[in-house]
Chain A
């Protein structure tokens, strides 16, 4: 099983600042990596797939990068609606696996 490790677990960021979230895979997942956003009481929402492609309707302030085992989600200028939990997920190997999540909270 591929273990996905996200860091940090929690980050405090001021509105308008940049946030950089990390995701590491225990073995290569190529570019088969997705990022999801989840707000309290809501289902997850797909942000990024293929490591760097924004899903439909996702603002340009969200960007993804990386390949192999190291990935990054960057939110260029945090808006109030961006405070949430973010998960990475690999879909290169069965079983599909998620990272433990990064909570982005207001500083």
Chain B
């Protein structure tokens, strides 16, 4: 079964850091781009970051540039999101979502994880 499973969420103080993980199974991980998407409580979906299948290309939403870093370990089939300088506005469920296969620059998100909750509060 094709699956993505996030972990690493929790409660963190403002200004703190957190690293999220997304473990993939059931498909050739390195052949697909992966994205992070977040959803604040009661709000809509917000794209956060993208990484290509090789890890050679990354993109970020302006509101996380310089604070968040996306990376992947294709030998372990794991995606990461390192989040620094967190603020209350970063409180959300964070989803990883599979993007297009290698060779296609941009595409829809066909597989989603169940999400991990990040709460930034003192």
Structural contact, B114 and A98, CB atoms closer than 8 A: no
Within 8 A of A (CB), among B91-111: 95, 97, 106-110
Interface residues on B, range: 20 to 34
Structural contact, A36 and B45, CB atoms closer than 8 A: yes
Cβ contacts under 8 Å, B46 to chain A:
98
Cβ contacts under 8 Å, B35 to chain A:
96
Within 8 A of A (CB), among B28-74: 35, 37, 44-47, 50, 59-62
Cα separation A49 to B107 with both chains bound (whole Å): 8
Structural contact, A95 and B61, CB atoms closer than 8 A: yes
Structural contact, B115 and A43, CB atoms closer than 8 A: yes
Cα separation A56 to B108 with both chains bound (whole Å): 13
Structural contact, A98 and B45, CB atoms closer than 8 A: yes
- List B residues at the A interface (Cβ < 8 Å): 35, 37, 44-47, 50, 59-62, 95, 97, 106-110, 112-115
Binds B, one of A12-20, A72-80, A86-94: A86-94
Structural contact, A94 and B107, CB atoms closer than 8 A: no
Cα separation A44 to B46 with both chains bound (whole Å): 12
Cβ contacts under 8 Å, B44 to chain A:
87, 98-101
Cα separation A9 to B60 with both chains bound (whole Å): 27
Structural contact, A91 and B107, CB atoms closer than 8 A: yes
Instruction: Select B108's contact among A43, A49, A95, beta carbons within 8 Å.
Output: A49
**Chain A 34-65 interface mask (CB, 8 Å, partner B; 1/0):** 10101000011110011000011000000000
Structural contact, B113 and A43, CB atoms closer than 8 A: yes
Cβ contacts under 8 Å, B95 to chain A:
43-44
Q: Is A67 an interface residue (CB 8 A)?
A: no
